[in-house]
Structure 1
Amino acid sequence: MNILPAIFEAVGLYSSSGGLGEHLRGLDIDCQTMSRQSAYNFVILALIFVNVVILFNYYYGLLNRSPFNQVGWWLGNILVGAFIIFLIAYVGSHRDLVNHRYCEQLSFHDGDCIGFGITAAIYSVVWSVLLSLLIKWKSIYNKKIPF
């Protein structure tokens, strides 16, 4: 079992066995092989990239200024990143559902797509907090944010 699906499915906000999880792992339309690219890989790469860009901008870029060195601004950046990741995860899985680009033997619905998006957003927040703790120390104004 791949580690990324296991991490995402551990939250339990969407159907994994026989549902959206199988589709996200790469089960193709003919229901025979896992020949499609895993959506988990794309979402985790987007999660890492989007949050790195947002946090580097906060700690070393345009937002590394005095009026932005408050926890509220940091939290706003974290939530913007989480929302972007939610959209990436939700839209990708929902588009496949609406266009019937999945194995017909699988059973999932829009609520599963929302659950996958929420799961990705949760991991986005966790990654952002960890990344903040690692990169904040050389920031001029924001090195004491979040704490």
Structure 2
Amino acid sequence: MSDFANEQYLIIQILHLLSAMTFGGVVIFEVLILESLHGRLSKAVMMEIESGIIRRARQFMPIVIVVLYATGILLLRAHFPDLSIMPESIFGRLLMVKIALAGIVFVCFVSAMTLHLLNKMNPLVFKVIHLIVFSCVLGIVVLAKSMFYAYS
């Protein structure tokens, strides 16, 4: 690791974990809790709840995403200044899969924001994007824990 990465590693790692918890928590809440309310509450009430949540999430989620991906890149560079050696270790291979899942999440996030801004978002696309992101978030969490064991 570079001197900067060594000195700042803990701070970068904590910021990464906090932003990952925030992003993942919102996604998990929306998929497991919010989606289950659709059959129990009226359409008007659900629209009010969802629009309030979306409005609030739009205020802080872009910052969370920037922190999450920026710290992820810094952590990647701290562990692998030479990216070509990543496939040589189990840790590196797991990280490559985690990065691929994070890439899918990023594409979904940008797609959702773009569709929303263009007023082209519909409930089916919204649900599909959330399920894809939810699956990727679960995969990332499992990989992160697996990487911990591969590294130690």
**TM-score in terms of structure 1 length:** 0.31
With normalisation by structure 2, the TM-score equals 0.31
Q: Which has the higher helix share?
A: 2
